[in-house]
Amino acid sequence: MASIVPTTLRCNLLTDPLAVADERPRLSWVLKHAESGAKNARQTAYQVCVSSREPGDADLWDSGRTESAATFDIVYEGTALEPFRTAHWRVRVWDETGEQSEWSCAAQWTQAPDEWPAKWIRYYDPQGRARPFTLKGAHWIWHEDESPMKSPPGVCFFQATFELIETERIDVVASADDSFVLRIDGEEVCRSDGEPHSWSRPQHCKIELSSGEHAIEAEVENCNEGAGAFIAKVRSASGQTVTGKTWQARKQDSNDWKGVQNLIEYGGAPWGELREKELHLPPYLDLSRSFQIERPVRRAVLYSTALGLCRFHVNAKPAHKDWFAPGWTDYDKRLHYRAHDVTRLLTAGTNCFTAELYDGWFAGYIGFKPERNHYGEDTWLSAFLRIEFADGGHQTISTDEESDAGIHYVNYGDFLMGEFRGPHEPEISNAWAENSNRILEPYPMNPVEVYATVPAKQMHTVGTATVFDLGQNFAGVCRLQLDHLDDEQSVTMRHAEVLNEDGSLYTKNLRTARAEDTVVGDGYPVDWTPRGTYHGFRYVELTGVKDPPLDAVTGVALSNIHELASTFECSDRRLNKLWQNIQWTQRSNFIEVPTDCPQRDERLGWTGDIQIYARTAALVGDVQAFLRKWLTDLSDTQREDGQYPMVAPLKVAGDDGGPAWSEAGVIVPWALYQVYEDEELLERQWDSMVRFMSFCESRSPDGRAPEEYHCFGDWLNVDAETPNDLIFTAYFARSADLLARIANVLGKNASHYMQLFKRARRSFAEEFVENSGAVKGDTQTGYVLALAFDLLDGSLRKGAASNLVENIERHGHLTTGFVGTKDLLLVLRDIGRTDLAYKLLLSDEYPGWLFSVKHGATTIWERWDGWTPEDGFADPAINSFSHYAYGAVGQFMFETIAGVRLLEPGYKKILVAPEPGPLTSCRAEYDSVRGQIAVDWEISDGQFKIKVSLPPNTEAVVRTPDGEENQVGSGEWSFECAHIK
């Protein structure tokens, strides 16, 4: 029997993917020991067999026995698959003694469609009812008897009539100089807000009216000698009624209705464009397609995409468990589609698939402006169902002009603002259908899914509201369950990460994100989970319901990272909490793109944050597919001249990332190469990286900062501003160095980049470093960059190291921002001062990691002083409580406390060298690309004892704290030595 077995078969990094576009996808597996106790196990050969049937022969491909230790990036070299065909594959391996394993369980992949048969559909909106409702088209009017723009103070009435064909909710907007009260059929519907210049803030309302004729009347007061004016608009399914010559006017002291004069059309002077209703939250759509099935079905796969967010039901049952399809890319360049097996949902006879279509990243609010419609105004859907029948035939049902489109009018879902759901039936009409030649690609990673439910731990009341504490900050939504809601009773959930002292929600740090979900009852129980939004929160405030039970709300946590790749537990509970906080923060921010934060009006793929955090990210979860996808987003947004942006996809923020942000384009691929030995990714990104480096070089041949450039600096440092030009040169050098190394990996000529690195290094020493090793600015970040990026030789390096130590001792704490924190503790370890690293790590004073833990944090804060006992909450403009950058300390924790470091890419060779410091035990596991690595050490009875478990195909140096080194292969090993304090 062989010592190893292949498990966890994947194709293009996914388990049994339903849409693989490549003709030559990449296959992988993970080796396990066949029996516990096995040691030094290695794969010496493999055989992959791929069949068009299951179980089957290798009619598509038989790799034959291939002498190789490779377990990933095995390129399929068999017959190209026809679209929709499934390949079944398995693998067996030979171990170090030439013994052959059993065949693995079978896995599969299905070839993607080669063309997209479906049309694009949307709701056809002739009245523009889903568009922002403004006064456009209406005239400012006044009584015909008074001179325009010069009327005496007093009250004037205006009236008109309009007709509705059926009962419906109509939109009304009005404004007046100086103030108005508006009535319909004698009932007041809205009035000016009573504040100065109320004419500049038109008032909006929606009211339900029955069919027939209705009278609209305004009572308008002109307070001073000067312009008196009124403007209004009513919008219904039958059309619009706007102020103009058809209206009538009468003075307060007269009963005579007379004509009106048009003063100016909306938009004209002196009133100009008014600040219309600040939020525009258009309704979500229901798009559906009915079809017949007359023969037994073997398999049915639904392929779908959208400009917007789509969620499908087939025959009223949920068709998938993933959220936020089709995800976020630079929609102008590429769009993903998803494939879901829906066989079990079909029935004989009439069937129907339906999609709810929300605004999402495409048309909703995203980023800090706040702005919407980033990619377009109208949301679109395109989908087809491919049904394979038991008799061998097949049929395709596509979105087209036969589809229906429903619009809800009041119900909406928006990422930042929240969701509204009332028991309103949608209005349904034929869908508008168009062809499009957009380039579609299969979704390349694990989608956003629910990875945890978070029950409320406790609740308290604030006024008439109930505030639930879920005990954990996370990204997602709340499921609301209530036994009963009256007709028209509306219940609102507001979300926040933290509370004010009086127990109410603190929402200032959300900036313009409203984070508010409302449901309106219909006399039945409520079980509602919003689907077109998400929030970053720990607390939920419920209003509109009296004495709700604790289980009325349950958190639903969402992320692309479902499984964790590691565990970490040491003798200091505070550090364990810190590790958990890192995990929660990462999952809260790995939502389609690596976001900076999940709560405020931002949620962008900030380049700086992820380059700082990438190595830790890969310890927390398997992020290979996720970050590969994001690197495509990054390349898609790369500027013409080669510069990388601040955020990818590029929206809201700028296209010039500046030092420490733009280098994400080089640092993240390198990090993925280190962790996953992903050479193919380096190859894929190579041209993009070269263009970036050429841009850097053209701006600065020797790495010295040019006259003008953008730089965020050492973001959120503690009163220790590192000179921008130093950060510029350091990161320039780092990129050149990495390009040289990447060239070497890819077998390309590295000499140019080596020269460039040398030049930049020289510039750095000349510009910023004194003979004593003092670095310009004398900041911890300056020293850390010099040391981490290997920018100094010999005595200068030594000098910089002692200056760093001296600086930390002088301050008594860290002073680093995003840029310096990344490598601070790793550098201290590498200069032999792990003791000082521990001191910083274990301090629970501000500023430091355990300060937030001491104050009850359940996630990583954006800033060291997010909240302090002295000053309370920090500047709400920049104060997220779920920001992963400072969580980059996770790399130090795993490498130094657990002691697991990679010596060769992909953990082929590992260093296990825990440095216990003041700790007495640590147990950790990590699912590397080569299998699970586990470490368990403790200090007892004056002895340091360690157990190490290594997967097949790896070797390690296990170094005990006494300096003794042991070379080992795979399997379980134990060592011990005397514990020296």
Query: Which amino acids are annotated catalytic?
Result: 602, 862
Residue 608 interacts with ligand BGC (CB under 6 A): yes or no:
yes
**Phi, psi values for residue 384, rounded to 5°:** -145, 150
Shortest distance, CB of residue 641 to ligand BGC, whole angstroms?
21
Nearer to ligand BGC, 715 or 867 (CB): 715
Judged by CB under 6 A, the stretch of 411-419, 501-509, 594-602, 753-761 that binds ligand BGC is 594-602
Shortest distance, CB of residue 976 to ligand BGC, whole angstroms?
44
Residue 598 interacts with ligand BGC (CB under 6 A): yes or no:
no
Judged by CB under 6 A, the stretch of 244-252, 324-332, 596-604, 899-907 that binds ligand BGC is 596-604
Positions 776 through 795 that interact with ligand BGC (CB under 6 A): none
Q: Report how far residue 599's alpha carbon sits from residue 266's, in angstroms, rounded to the nearest whole number.
A: 37
Residue 606 interacts with ligand BGC (CB under 6 A): yes or no:
yes
Q: Report how far residue 880's alpha carbon sits from residue 602's, in angstroms, rounded to the nearest whole number.
A: 10
Nearer to ligand BGC, 602 or 865 (CB): 602
Shortest distance, CB of residue 460 to ligand BGC, whole angstroms?
31
Q: How far is CA 747 from the centre of its chain?
A: 35
Burial (CB < 10 A; 0-12, 13-18, 19+), residue 202, is buried
Residue 644 interacts with ligand BGC (CB under 6 A): yes or no:
no
Question: Amino acid identity, residue 149?
Answer: M
Q: Six-digit token pair at 98?
A: 């030439």
Nearer to ligand BGC, 804 or 860 (CB): 860
Nearest to 892 by CA among 913, 864, 865, 906: 913
**Cα–Cα distances in angstroms (integers) from residue 580 to residues 472, 615, 895, in the given order:** 11, 16, 16
Nearer to ligand BGC, 93 or 597 (CB): 597
Strands 45-51 and 61-62: antiparallel
Q: Report how far residue 422's alpha carbon sits from residue 154's, in angstroms, rounded to the nearest whole number.
A: 42
Question: 723: number of CA atoms within 13 Å, CB side?
Answer: 16
Nearer to ligand BGC, 565 or 582 (CB): 582
Q: Report how far residue 323's alpha carbon sits from residue 531's, in angstroms, rounded to the nearest whole number.
A: 8
Nearest to 734 by CA among 703, 705, 713: 703
Q: Report how far residue 914's alpha carbon sits from residue 923's, in angstroms, rounded to the nearest whole number.
A: 11
Judged by CB under 6 A, the stretch of 601-609, 935-943, 946-954, 973-981 that binds ligand BGC is 601-609
Among 419, 596, 678, 737, binds ligand BGC (CB under 6 A): 596
Nearer to ligand BGC, 91 or 726 (CB): 726
Residue 497 interacts with ligand BGC (CB under 6 A): yes or no:
no
Question: 136: number of CA atoms within 13 Å, CB side?
Answer: 7
Nearest to 539 by CA among 635, 466, 616: 466
Helix (H) or strand (E) holding 924: strand 921-928
Longest Cα–Cα distance in the chain:
108
For tokens 């004892």, the residue is: 945
Helix (H) or strand (E) holding 949: strand 943-950
Nearest to 96 by CA among 953, 906, 910, 972: 953
Shortest distance, CB of residue 637 to ligand BGC, whole angstroms?
15
Cite the beta strand spans of 864-908 per DSSP E: 867-868, 872-873, 900-902
- With contacts defined by CB under 6 A, how many residues of the chain interact with ligand BGC? 8
Shortest distance, CB of residue 612 to ligand BGC, whole angstroms?
9
Judged by CB under 6 A, the stretch of 87-95, 171-179, 606-614, 701-709 that binds ligand BGC is 606-614
Residue 602 interacts with ligand BGC (CB under 6 A): yes or no:
yes
Shortest distance, CB of residue 817 to ligand BGC, whole angstroms?
9
Nearer to ligand BGC, 95 or 602 (CB): 602
Residue 715 interacts with ligand BGC (CB under 6 A): yes or no:
yes
Q: Six-digit token pair at 762?
A: 């020289």
Residue 642 interacts with ligand BGC (CB under 6 A): yes or no:
no
Judged by CB under 6 A, the stretch of 61-69, 98-106, 603-611, 912-920 that binds ligand BGC is 603-611
Shortest distance, CB of residue 607 to ligand BGC, whole angstroms?
8
Binding mask 543-582 toward ligand BGC (x if CB under 6 A, else -) reads ----------------------------------------
- Give residue number: closest CB to ligand BGC: 596
Question: Amino acid identity, residue 367?
Answer: G
Among 133, 247, 712, 907, binds ligand BGC (CB under 6 A): 712
Question: Amino acid identity, residue 262?
Answer: N
SS3 for 202?
Answer: coil
Residue 609 interacts with ligand BGC (CB under 6 A): yes or no:
yes
**Cα–Cα distances in angstroms (integers) from residue 539 to residues 493, 497, 577, in the given order:** 10, 6, 19
Binding mask 654-693 toward ligand BGC (x if CB under 6 A, else -) reads ----------------------------------------
Shortest distance, CB of residue 715 to ligand BGC, whole angstroms?
5
Judged by CB under 6 A, the stretch of 277-285, 485-493, 604-612, 947-955 that binds ligand BGC is 604-612
Q: Is 197 left (phi over 0), alpha (psi -120 to 50) or beta?
A: left
Binding mask 848-867 toward ligand BGC (x if CB under 6 A, else -) reads --------------------
How wide is the angle at C-alpha 559 spanned by C-alphas 492 and 637, nearest 5°? 105
Positions 760 through 779 that interact with ligand BGC (CB under 6 A): none
Question: Which positions lie near ligand BGC, rule CB under 6 A?
Answer: 596-597, 602, 606, 608-609, 712, 715
